[in-house]
A and B are shown apart, each in its own frame.
Chain A
Amino acid sequence: MKNRNVAIIGSGMSKFSSHREEVNQPEMIHEAVAAALADAQLGLDDVDCVLHGNMELFEMVHQPDMWHVIADGGWGKSGFRLTTGGTTGATLACAADNLVASGLHDVVLAIGFEKLQEGHTTGGITNMADPLWGRSLQTGALTGTGAQKVIDEFGVERARLAAMKYRTIMDEHAMRNRNAHRRLRLERQYIKETAENSPPLAGELRMIHMCSQSDGACAAIFASEDKVRQFGANPAWIVDHETVHREETMIFGSQVSTQRIAAERLFGRHAIGNPREAVDVFEMYDPSAWWGLDWLRDFLLLEGDEHLKMVENGEIALDGTFPVNPSGGVIASNPIGATALVRVVEAAMQIRGTAGEHQVSKPVRRALASGFGGTLWTVLMLLSKEKPACGGVAHE
């Protein structure tokens, strides 16, 4: 039973781009922190705890929260640093939720960041492999096995088109998100040609399908119910979260995906049998169009080709019945240590009605956000507009 309620009351992001050479790491983080405080209409004095996370081996800074205290407002405050690879940002959101729910803290500022341009991205990811075995085999996050899985099940023509349709819709969303890193202006009529002309990376995974490598920081302010009231804030309530890791192999084989396990557990706790109806918008951590397409089925507890149809029929578009990644998702912007937090923040923005040009058309009562990383790990978080009954039981 959750001890007390927690809400996101403000958020901010730095500009995401491939080369933020005009700022150093603390300066970049400060952009997000200042924006979050402005959004929440708070000052640093209102914050009592600062959370920080990223993936150290990208920038090769040890314990970067030490240096970054000059920019994140942590001086004199409580704080923690959590790191779980690609899921870091979502883990930070879970941690903020836990810390405020615990009663130990009232207002927690969570910050995820990455400055990929300062290091070597694929090298950094390859270093997640065991140094004793596999480090010379791993190819960063590039694998065609995800695409092949979809192709095996649905045939190469249909699969390729669906993946590109997904990709194109993601770009359409990014075109309405001024903060997004890559905004390509892809057109639906050229889906087939765009895919065919895009250089293959591994198997049927092509450059066009793959996520960005971005510099960026994201900050979010989590507050207790009392503080929400005291501040007169506009809250997005954290209902619940679930973290599912896997052993150290990069292939599911015959095992169930962590996406499905996370969804089964999280929705199961809240008696949600049909997530597609119960949830209004989903910010999914989609490292590639193929995985984004494939995981829809597991996250929404669907069967057969229902997920493909959702994409083919455009239901996942901004004005669709089940918008996915109105922000443009990870394919558009991927500052890795921040990326999973951005998913939570974008979901919160949809609930709070602050997403501006990429606000979805339909009213948003419940939003879902996912993080991905490690050896196919998942972090899943459910947010709501209405305050959960204490204990986080969802309203019907």
Chain B
Amino acid sequence: MANRVAICAVAQTPFSANKWDVRAQGLVWEVVREVREQTGLGFGKDAIQAAVTVSDDVFDARTISDGAITDVVGAHYGAEEKVAADGAQGVYYAAATVLSGHHDVVLLVGHCKESQSASRNMVTHLAFDPFYTRPVGLDYLCAAALQAQAYMARSDVTEDQLADVVVRARRNAAKNPVAQETRAVTREEVLASPMVADPIREAFMYPVSDGAVAMILASERRAQEITDKPVWITGLGNCYDSFFLGERDLAGNFTLERAAQRAYAMAGISMPGKTFDVVEIADQYAHQLPQYAEGLGLCDTNGGGPWLAADGPDKQNVNLSGGMLAGNPLMLGGLVRVAEAVIQLRGEAGEQQVSNARRAVAHGATGPAGQLQTVVVLEN
């Protein structure tokens, strides 16, 4: 690769279940202001040259919803392009705009308020085709439940183990200043939470969440001017699976394996299980933590259960941020994962800091049961 691209600053709003007191413009301003303060950058030819935004018209209930934040992201008589998928896709695309040579400094910002709609399931229900999968009643929750059924049957991961995933997520989240669900829970409490879509219990689900994340990406020359702690994006990969759930191996990781392979090839990584100091997985549902760990090559295929049993997540520093189970809106899960990995690689993770953290992998998922997944490798 001729050019290199680094993340120079990140900012996140605290995530919470219902940010009723602020609208999208305000949320985005919080994080844009913060990354600008961190870097001293304004907007213009020699500063932030363009914005890549991440949001979704259906969640925002507004056509061309990026039109609401043009002024906030400095795109009045400037450039802005919107990625309408999980925020890790925004990281990939923003990196591409810098690597292309078209821009040197790009602002990346994502926002989503799941609390705005009566139910996020009503939104994701609309991702299903109007003729068959929608009338049958699918939404992303049901798709995840089918995935969980398949995965748990194949992997022998138990409900107890999933409950422990949640307990651990809360414990980690409590040390994360922006995390939403920080109240400690016991395994019993988790197992007593109502069954929502068998085998997914309420406590196994990522909570309804509102928030925003901003980053500044820059080319090598500019990154070194902007920050003394650039975090280099050294690997990028994503991949689509098929749409109809019956056509997919829901217990497997077709899409994630390919996304990871592409990212790892680019970054020169051959042993993912032994390479990363920090791992951030977008675990929208508890069963996805071990499942996607397999897909990322952190443990063997079908080895998710033993991996959990052997404290794999702790040993490999997985989701020290609390992960998506701590609360991030659907559109931002992967963007937050990248942000948290960057914070670790900049040595700014406080209580949770992994010493000598040099390399991280961050993951995001879009669509039903991770139909599209994105992998980002980062190094300092």
Measured CB to CB, the residues of A under 8 A from B are 1-4, 24, 50, 53, 55-57, 60-70, 74-86, 91, 94-95, 97-99, 101-104, 124-128, 130-132, 241-248, 258, 261, 373-375, 391
Nearest CB of chain B from residue A125's CB, rounded to whole Å? 7
6 further contact pairs, Cβ within 8 A, besides A76-B254, A246-B70, A248-B70: A57-B63, A63-B366, A80-B85, A81-B83, A82-B81, A128-B67
Query: Contact at A242–B70, with CB atoms within 8 Å?
Result: no
- Chain B: CB-nearest residue to A126: B63
| A residues near B100, Cβ cutoff 8 Å | 2-3, 97-99, 101-102
Binds A, one of B232-240, B336-344, B354-362: B232-240
Which residues of chain B (112-169) have a CB below 8 Å from chain A? 123-131
Which residues of chain B (58-101) have a CB below 8 Å from chain A? 58, 61-64, 66-68, 70-71, 75-85, 89, 92-93, 95-101
- Chain A: CB-nearest residue to B57: A56
Nearest CB of chain B from residue A108's CB, rounded to whole Å? 10
Nearest CB of chain A from residue B26's CB, rounded to whole Å? 12
- Chain B: CB-nearest residue to A83: B84
| B residues near A69, Cβ cutoff 8 Å | 240-243, 371
| A residues near B372, Cβ cutoff 8 Å | 65-66, 79
Assembly CA distance A261 to B79 (angstroms): 11
Query: Contact at B240–A103, with CB atoms within 8 Å?
Result: no
Contact of B127 among A63, A76, A97 (CB under 8 A): A63
Main SS of chain A's interface residues?
A: mixed
What are 11 A-B pairs with beta-carbon distances under 8 A? Answer: A53-B84, A75-B242, A76-B254, A79-B238, A102-B98, A104-B236, A125-B63, A128-B63, A246-B77, A248-B68, A374-B70
Nearest CB of chain B from residue A223's CB, rounded to whole Å? 15
Query: Contact at A66–B367, with CB atoms within 8 Å?
Result: yes
Which residues of chain B (12-42) have a CB below 8 Å from chain A? 23
Query: Contact at A98–B62, with CB atoms within 8 Å?
Result: no
Q: Given A3-B101, A102-B100, A244-B79, A131 and B131 touching (CB < 8 A)? A: no
Cβ of B346 within 8 Å of any chain A Cβ, yes or no, is: no
Cβ of B56 within 8 Å of any chain A Cβ, yes or no, is: yes
Nearest CB of chain A from residue B114's CB, rounded to whole Å? 13
Q: Given A62-B123, A80-B83, A81-B83, A74 and B93 touching (CB < 8 A)? A: no
Cβ of B363 within 8 Å of any chain A Cβ, yes or no, is: no
Cβ of B223 within 8 Å of any chain A Cβ, yes or no, is: no
Cβ of B230 within 8 Å of any chain A Cβ, yes or no, is: no
By Cβ-Cβ distance, the 10 closest A-B pairs, closest first, are A85-B64, A102-B99, A101-B100, A243-B79, A128-B63, A62-B126, A62-B127, A127-B63, A98-B100, A102-B96
Assembly CA distance A50 to B101 (angstroms): 21
Assembly CA distance A391 to B236 (angstroms): 24
Cβ of B310 within 8 Å of any chain A Cβ, yes or no, is: no
Query: Contact at A78–B85, with CB atoms within 8 Å?
Result: no
- Chain B: CB-nearest residue to A56: B57
Assembly CA distance A67 to B127 (angstroms): 7
Contact of B240 among A74, A258, A391 (CB under 8 A): A74
Q: Given A62-B126, A82-B93, A95-B81, A373 and B64 touching (CB < 8 A)? A: yes
Measured CB to CB, the residues of B under 8 A from A are 1-3, 23, 50, 56-58, 61-64, 66-68, 70-71, 75-85, 89, 92-93, 95-102, 123-131, 236-244, 254, 258, 262, 366-368, 371-372
Q: Given A69-B243, A246-B76, A101 and B93 touching (CB < 8 A)? A: no
Query: Contact at A247–B70, with CB atoms within 8 Å?
Result: yes
Assembly CA distance A50 to B240 (angstroms): 9
Nearest CB of chain B from residue A378's CB, rounded to whole Å? 10
| A residues near B254, Cβ cutoff 8 Å | 76
Query: Contact at A63–B244, with CB atoms within 8 Å?
Result: no
Nearest CB of chain A from residue B49's CB, rounded to whole Å? 11
Q: Given A69-B240, A98-B100, A104-B96, A128 and B126 touching (CB < 8 A)? A: no
Query: Contact at B240–A62, with CB atoms within 8 Å?
Result: no
| A residues near B71, Cβ cutoff 8 Å | 247-248
| B residues near A97, Cβ cutoff 8 Å | 100, 102
Nearest CB of chain B from residue A259's CB, rounded to whole Å? 12
Q: Given A101-B101, A127-B63, A128-B67, A3 and B83 touching (CB < 8 A)? A: no
Assembly CA distance A128 to B237 (angstroms): 33
Q: Given A66-B127, A99-B100, A128 and B62 touching (CB < 8 A)? A: yes
Contact of B64 among A55, A68, A104, A131 (CB under 8 A): A55
| A residues near B85, Cβ cutoff 8 Å | 63, 65, 80-81
B23, B61, B77, B240: residue with the most chain A Cβ atoms closer than 10 Å: B240
| A residues near B243, Cβ cutoff 8 Å | 66-70
| B residues near A55, Cβ cutoff 8 Å | 57, 63-64
Nearest CB of chain B from residue A110's CB, rounded to whole Å? 13
| A residues near B64, Cβ cutoff 8 Å | 55, 83-86, 128, 373-374
Query: Contact at A261–B77, with CB atoms within 8 Å?
Result: yes
- Chain A: CB-nearest residue to B92: A80
Nearest CB of chain A from residue B116's CB, rounded to whole Å? 10
A66, A69, A242, A258: residue with the most chain B Cβ atoms closer than 10 Å: A66
- Chain B: CB-nearest residue to A26: B129
Query: Contact at B2–A3, with CB atoms within 8 Å?
Result: yes
Assembly CA distance A69 to B237 (angstroms): 18
A86, A101, A247: residue with the most chain B Cβ atoms closer than 10 Å: A247
A55, A91, A132, A246: residue with the most chain B Cβ atoms closer than 10 Å: A246
Query: Contact at A77–B240, with CB atoms within 8 Å?
Result: yes
| B residues near A128, Cβ cutoff 8 Å | 62-64, 67
Q: Given A66-B127, A69-B243, A76-B258, A127 and B238 touching (CB < 8 A)? A: no
| A residues near B124, Cβ cutoff 8 Å | 62
Nearest CB of chain B from residue A107's CB, rounded to whole Å? 15
Assembly CA distance A66 to B127 (angstroms): 7
Assembly CA distance A240 to B23 (angstroms): 36
| A residues near B368, Cβ cutoff 8 Å | 66
Nearest CB of chain A from residue B187's CB, rounded to whole Å? 35
Nearest CB of chain B from residue A195's CB, rounded to whole Å? 31
Query: Contact at B77–A76, with CB atoms within 8 Å?
Result: no
- Chain B: CB-nearest residue to A98: B100
Assembly CA distance A247 to B78 (angstroms): 10
Query: Contact at A375–B236, with CB atoms within 8 Å?
Result: no
| B residues near A57, Cβ cutoff 8 Å | 57-58, 62-63
